[in-house]
Structure 1
Amino acid sequence: MTGPYDRSETVGGAAFFDVDETLITAKSMFEFLRFWLARNGHDDTRYQRYAAALRDMSALGLPREEVNRAYYQYYAGSYAADVRAAGRDWYAAYRKRPDAFVTAGISALAGHRAAGDAVVLVSGSFHFCLDPLAEDLAVDRVLCGELVVDERGFLTGEVVRPMIGRAKAEAVVRTIEELGLAAEDCCGYGDHASDLDMLRAVGRPTVVGDDPVLGQLARAHGWPVMSSVAGGREES
């Protein structure tokens, strides 16, 4: 999906970036959930209960897509405009942290942008979290969870399709086709085994951090591996 920050008219290539622990050090969905609950008058106990329930689902081996859908249920009945405004406030505070960003990921993104490549975020998170980041980093597109909003402007708690695993790869392939590019001219950056399908959809994958599954594949295929060391960004 494009946004008001879209500038992808003529590009030489494209770079697809996972977000959490690839560009930012946080898990955006969890960080924002804590912010949202506090903003609405709840103490940290409720956040801990919600987060534990999601972790328990993962520990039981439920598909990541199912856990992703369960997360969005927490916003059912919330006014979409309020969640969007909260996302902007959350990111405005988050970006000031000295450890907010993955230094190598941000540097790689800036390099692609300077080279004239289309820069695309691909994440299981959602627009209300990601759009402020996308604007800050001047990226071209955001491919992420699309939340269902009812006719009154309230979130139903549903997501059209979790942007997880294979869905990431399919979205990347569609975008490459829409931009009229060749996969071999495109780059991908991810930090987790769930990013593997996306990385295989491009010609030049790069692993961020020390995920053991991706690390093994990087060694086998000669993929570059970048550090996940944290850093801040200058105010703008």
Structure 2
Amino acid sequence: MRRRPAAFFDVDGTVINATSMFRFLEFRLAAEGHPPSAYRHERQRLKAMTAAGVPRSETNRAYFASYAGADVRAVAALAEEWFRAELDRGGFYNDQVVEALRAHRRAGDLIVLVSGSFRDCLAPIARHLDADVVLCTDPETAHGRYTGRVARPMIGEAKAEAIHALTDRAALDLTASTSYGDHVSDLPLLRTTGRAVVVGEDPEMREQARRHNWPLWPRLSPDSQLAHSHGSYVRAHDGKPRG
């Protein structure tokens, strides 16, 4: 069987100029009628874990703990609204990366999004970009609600393992494939393919790019994106719960 090349894309900070889980969390809490302080408190809690050296996989688990009891269908519906709001706001996508994705698709490569984010956030992005496969964190659900638990976040080595499993199922040629990422947790992803591209200004990633002769691509400043969006979700919903 002839093996097919693929293009593997990290999402947050690579395909999009934002962190989908946090931007969606801000949107969801505002839509549910929580004050802005609720998002700030949760964001600071997770940032403090990162500053204390807690592994990214564990902060990912901690993020999903806040979803315990949330209705799966309601979260999915809010994610669709969030995505439309992001598109309306503008600056959501990294245009250079999206153009590369489209070029890979025209060349016949399998388009795969690989992300620590979850399917509700990623589904509208994947549909909009016509991605073929989404490999992501899948929070546990029971009886139509999130339990707040995650078996294994799609972070670090989990990305490489998921890619190798997909390669076996889909008969992919990894040496002819390309991967894109922006964070050190993406290194296992970038090392799986014959070609890799580093997106962004992370110093450690820039050093890795120099060491491996990987191309370096820019992205918009996340600080400017955050400043652009700050408070907009709260204003949009006037702090009122959704019916």
TM-score normalised by length of structure 2: 0.88
- 2-side partners of 1:126 and 1:143: how far apart? 9
Matched, 1:110 2:102: yes
1:194 is matched with which residue: 185, 192, 196? 185
Letter of the 1:97 partner, please give it.
Answer: R
Contact 1:103 1:229 in 2 (8 A): no
Contact 1:11 1:117 in 2 (8 A): no
User: What is the CA RMSD across the aligned residues, in angstroms?
Assistant: 1.3
Counterpart position of 2:31: 39
Deviations 1:143-166 (A, max 9, x none): 00111111x211101122100011
SS in 1 for 2:135: strand
Identical aligned pairs, as a percentage? 45
- Which structure 2 segments of 5+ residues have no match? 222-243
Counterpart position of 1:65: 57
Deviations 1:162-186 (A, max 9, x none): 0001101111111122221221011
- 1-side partners of 2:121 and 2:14: how far apart? 15
Matched, 1:52 2:44: yes
1:154 is matched with which residue: 145, 166, 174? 145
Counterpart position of 2:163: 172
2:11 is matched with which residue: 19, 40, 50? 19
Deviations 1:21-47 (A, max 9, x none): 101101000000001101110011000
Letter of the 1:225 partner, please give it.
Answer: L
Counterpart position of 1:6: none
Counterpart position of 1:233: none
- Which structure 1 segments of 5+ residues have no match? 1-9, 231-236
Letter of the 2:64 partner, please give it.
Answer: Y
SS in 2 for 1:51: helix
Query: How many angstroms does 1:11 deviate by?
Result: 7.5
TM-score normalised by length of structure 1: 0.90
Runs of 4+ displaced beyond 4 Å: none
Number of equivalences: 220
- 1-side partners of 2:3 and 2:174: how far apart? 13
Letter of the 1:142 partner, please give it.
Answer: V
Counterpart position of 1:142: 134
Contact 1:183 1:202 in 2 (8 A): yes
- 2-side partners of 1:204 and 1:181: how far apart? 14
- 1-side partners of 2:56 and 2:118: how far apart? 15
Query: How many angstroms does 1:229 deviate by?
Result: 4.0
SS in 2 for 1:164: coil
